[in-house]
Amino acid sequence: MLLHIPNVLTRDQVVECRRQLDASNWIDGRVTAGHQSAKAKNNEQLPEDAPLAKQLGQLVLAALEAHPLFISAALPHKIFPPLFNRYSGGQAFGVHVDNAIRQVRNTAHRVRTDISATLFLSAPEEYHGGELVVEDTYGTQRVKLPAGDMVLYPATSLHRVEAVTRGARVASFFWIQSMVRDDTQRTLLFDLDNAIQRVARDVPQHPSVIQLTGVYHNLLRQWADL
Ligand code: NI
């Protein structure tokens, strides 16, 4: 499932993030790339251990925890500390697949990358190109979202970022280890959750609301690993 999650950050939060990011030092993005993806990757990144990356990462994590659509879709168990990147001057990231396991720098923490996330911090009209292109089971998806919005997609997908030929594309990117590792099962739970919420809103007293909520939790109990 590829899902657009709107308004993860408010307009004010985006402006503040950008003010700090635009004034900071960026390094070659290949530092966090795996063997295959290093050959395809050409962008800049904030150093993982930069105080600003940690500070803005905390802001993103706090926003995610308060976002019901994100929780329902990702069923997060662990979230890799958000990283920040920038593409400009023709930079691009050729087709690649993300590493299955990521170790948090200078710690023993490891995250299995079930879901990849990109949170856009530049408005689409600020740059040319820069689409995230994801090869989904339903075909190729091209994603370019308003600043503050995020896309989630299965980390198993082949994907790339088109060359940014004018302006700069600034984004946060990270991975989620879900309680439910299988994308098909996670999508079923998300669809069921949405349907239950709609019925609960439209016909609050209907006894099926409780029954369906039970089905949801019993499926989650079957499929979750922590
Ligand atoms: Ni990637």
Alpha carbon of 169 to ligand 1 centroid (Å): 15
**Residue 221 Rama label (left phi>0; alpha psi -120 to 50; beta):** alpha
Residue type, position 15, single letter: V
**pTM reported for the whole predicted model:** 0.95
pLDDT at position 44: 95
Quote the ligand 1 centre to 198 CA distance (angstroms).
34
pLDDT at 33 over 80: no
- Residue 103 near residue 109, CB atoms below 8 Å: yes
Distance 202 CA to ligand 1 centre (A): 40
Distance from the alpha carbon of residue 64 to the mean position of ligand 1, in angstroms: 20
Query: Is the alpha carbon torsion for 75, 79, 84, 85 positive or negative?
Result: negative
What is the four-CA torsion angle of 88, 147, 47, 105, rounded to 10 degrees?
-130
Beta bridge partners of residue 160, listed in sequence order: 133
pLDDT at 38: 78
Say if residue 36's pLDDT is above 90: no
